[in-house]
Structures are given as structure tokens and as C-alpha cells.
Chain A
């Protein structure tokens, strides 16, 4: 490994080569040329991210099991959960859209949380996660496609559209998706790849000491 370049960092947006400087807790360093955030010194990054992730995983399960909302019209009623909506669209011959919704709101958010737990849980107990390089690479590919926050806004828009013609009863999943959106934002804000690598790079030294 190139030791001489250990404290060098290149901006991902403009490729300006810079030297890392120590940061106070909770502060971030931005590129002196284009202003992009280079890295942050997140407070207790691994512990906090793990806590938010585990909480988000519980909410994700609740959000997918319970109905989002129900509507009533002339004695008959209809309720759906997210997977039910995906399946219903599939049956209406809109398979591609159905698949897109399934990927962006169910599979990828679940994958995001699973990879995060897979990575952080061993790190928390000072172990090296199995296949951590693969996990980190996958996390980067998967991340832009998780769209829970957009789905939540979609639910609110649907709710308003429905109230004009139906009696709408909000379900447990609606609130769960709200909580999930907040927790996923907290995960994104507290996670720092840099801290993960600091922990991974330190690992051999810690083993020798022990």
C-alpha cells in the first residue's frame, strides 16, 4: 500500500488533490475548489449508524406487513399494503412498473439495511466483516435506487387525491413509512465510509496488541 499518500484525498467532483486535516466532532471538510463535501467527522459513526439501522429494519418489516390505507365506498372497502399494490399492478399487465416499484421501495431498502448490518455489527465487536470490500461496493451501487422518501410523498399525494371521492382510513404502514424515512435519513447522515476504513485499517494493530 502506498504509505506516502495515506493523508491525501482527491475530491470526487473535481479531482483536486488535498491533504486531510483533523476535524472537530460533527464537522465536515469541503473541497477548497468546488465546495463538495470531502469527509465528515461523524460522532460515534459506527454505533449510531448501527442503532438507526436496526430500528429502521424493524420499521421496514412493519411498513411492509400492515396496510398503508383503506378506502370505503358504498358499503364496500379496500385496503392495501405495499406488496399488495405491487402484485396488483403486476396482474394489471404493468409488470415493468410493478418491478420498478418493487425494486425501489421494497428490495433495495431491505438490501441497504441488510448490508449495513452485515458491515457494522462485526465492526462493533472489533471483527472484520466477511466480504467487506464486496459489501461496500454493493452499498455504493444500490444506494441511489432506494426511494422510500419519494414513496412517502407519493402516499401523501394519493391520500389527498382519494379524500375527494372516498372515506380514507390511514393505516399503520403509513406512519411506519414516515418513521422509516426519518431513520434512513439518520442512517445516511451518521454513516461514514472513512470511519469504517479507519476501523478496518487499525484492525491488524489491535490484534497484535491483544
Chain B
């Protein structure tokens, strides 16, 4: 690539998020549209940091019930148990399904935590106009974007089991209220990561070069 060593915004140019066309904005303020595809143009996503914080806070709050409440109730002739996400993983490990236990652990515990912590780190660093390791922080953001969806795993497992195992007193699986909170955490963190604008990571460096 031939780099021009400057951000598009620094040149008054705006790139379209739908068709990638780089165009000059006639007016600095007010609404603008892509000359090729008509999508609305912004130098940076509007209200990115505030919206991302709001969604992230909501996710943090719901993360507590998501982990404390029952996600799945299993009843049979001989036993009855209520599982939270963590006890579900422990149970899988104990019964010898190690591979599945590790997969569920990564999808349901590691990934949501990774998303919450990473987005907090990214938001704080952007607000402090940090110039610390922008490349790594951008990579972290791409990772969050990429793996976020996989935490839906537990929701699907509960759905399938609750629909299939319905033999009354012999064996029954029911979805618990924890599933609702957990699903909300997944959706909220996905929305939060979509609101975050990674170009904000690079803006402090740009100002340095072009005062």
C-alpha cells in the first residue's frame, strides 16, 4: 500500500462505511451523504464513546444475574438440579466431557468477560487520548468483534434441550431466568462493540503529527 501518512478525516475526507468510497465533505457540520451510495457519512461514529459506555454499563449490570440465576433446570425420576452457567460447566467437567466443558467455558465465561474488560480498556484509553500501543488496541477490538457472537452458544443449547427433553416426570429440561439475562448480556456487548469507533484509537497520534 502507498500510505499518505495521514488520516482521511485530517484531510477533510470521509470514507463511506457501506461502499468504501472516499469523498470530500462539502460542509464540516450537518448531515452528509455518500455521493455514490447515499449512505450517511460521518468522520467518526456519532456519540460513539457515550453510547458504547451506556450499553457496556447495562451489560455489566445484567452480567450479575446472568451468572447468579439458574440458566437451566433439569428434572428426572431420580434427580432434580438447577444449573447456573458455571455449575453447568463444572458438571460437564465432572461427567468426563472435557472437550465440551472447555468449549462451553470459553464461549460462556471467557468471551463475555473478555468483551467487557476489553471494551472498558478501549473506552478508557480513548477518553484519556492515550497513545499506548494503538496497533495492539486495534487488534484487540477486532478480536472482540470476531469472537463476540460465540457466547450465544449456551442460549442455543438451552433452547434445543428445553424443546426436546419434555417427558413429564421421566425427564424434563426447562430454561431458567438466567438465560434471559445472559442473552441480554450477549446482545448488549455486541451492540456496544458496534458503537465503538476504532479510529478514535488513532486520532491522538494524528494530532501529534499535524498540529
Query: Chain B contact residues (Cβ within 8 angstroms of A): what range?
Result: 35 or more
* A136: nearest chain-B partner, CB-CB: B18
Cα(A155)–Cα(B157), bound, Å: 7
Binary per-residue interface labels of chain A (99-118) against chain B in the complex, 1 for a CB within 8 Å, 0 otherwise: 01100110000000000000
Residue-wise interface mask of A (136-158) relative to B, using a CB-CB cutoff of 8 A (1 in contact, 0 not)? 11001000110100110111011
Query: Closest CB of chain B to A66's CB: distance in Å?
Result: 15
Segment with Cβ contacts to B, from A49-57, A82-90, A122-130: A82-90
| Stretch of A26-34, A179-187, A202-210 lying at the B interface | A26-34
List residues of chain A with CB under 8 Å of any chain B CB: 1-2, 5, 8-10, 12-19, 21, 29-36, 38-39, 68-69, 71, 73-74, 76, 78-80, 84-86, 88-89, 92, 94, 96-98, 100-101, 104-105, 133, 136-137, 140, 144-145, 147, 150-151, 153-155, 157-158, 160-162, 164-166, 193-194, 197, 201
**In the complex, B13 has a CB within 8 A of chain A:** yes
8 new A-B contacts at CB < 8 Å, known A15-B8, A76-B170: A2-B24, A15-B15, A17-B22, A33-B135, A36-B138, A78-B166, A147-B149, A166-B171
Contact present for B38 and A88 (CB under 8 Å): no
Select one of A29, A92, A136 contacting B162, CB under 8 A.
Answer: A92
A12 CA / B7 CA spacing, docked (Å): 11
The distance in angstroms between the C-alpha atoms of A9 and B165, with both chains bound, is: 53
B174 located at the interface, meaning its Cβ lies under 8 Å from any Cβ of chain A in the complex: yes
Cβ-defined contact, A15 with B183, below 8 A:
no
Interface mask (B48-89 → A, CB under 8 Å = 1, otherwise 0): 000000000000000000000000000010000000000000
Q: A5-B13, A14-B134 are in contact. Are A101 and B155 (CB under 8 A)?
A: yes
The answer, yes or no, to whether B192 is at the interface (CB within 8 Å) is: no
Q: Is B20 an interface residue (CB 8 A)?
A: yes
- Over the window 20-38 of chain B, the binary record of Cβ atoms lying under 8 Å from chain A Cβ atoms (1 yes, 0 no) is 1111100000000001111
Asked if B13 contacts A14 (CB within 8 A), the reply is: no
Determine if A140 and B2 form an interchain contact, defined as CB atoms under 8 angstroms apart: no
Tally of contacts, chain A with chain B, CB under 8 A: 228
Within 8 A of A (CB), among B146-164: 149-150, 152-164
CB-contact partner of B153 in A35, A154, A162, under 8 A? A154
Interface centre among B15, B104, B164, B190 (most CB of A within 10 A): B164
A97 touches B2 (CB 8 A): no
Complex Cα spacing A86 to B150, Å: 19
> Using Cβ atoms and an 8 Å threshold, which residues of chain B touch A201?
36
Across-interface contacts of B162 in A (CB, < 8 A)? 85, 88-89, 92, 94
CA distance A85 to B160 in the complex (A): 6
Q: Is A21 within 8 A of B164, CB to CB?
A: no
> Shortest CB–CB separation between residue A195 and chain B, in angstroms?
11
Closest to B9 in A: A15
- In the complex the two chains form, what is the Cα distance from A46 to B11 in whole Å? 34
- Which B residues touch A161, using CB under 8 A? 92, 97, 100, 157, 161
Contact between chains at A197 and B36 (CB < 8 Å): yes
Task: Please judge, given known A-B contacts A1-B35, A35-B135, A73-B171, whether A85 and B103 are in contact too, CB under 8 Å.
Answer: no
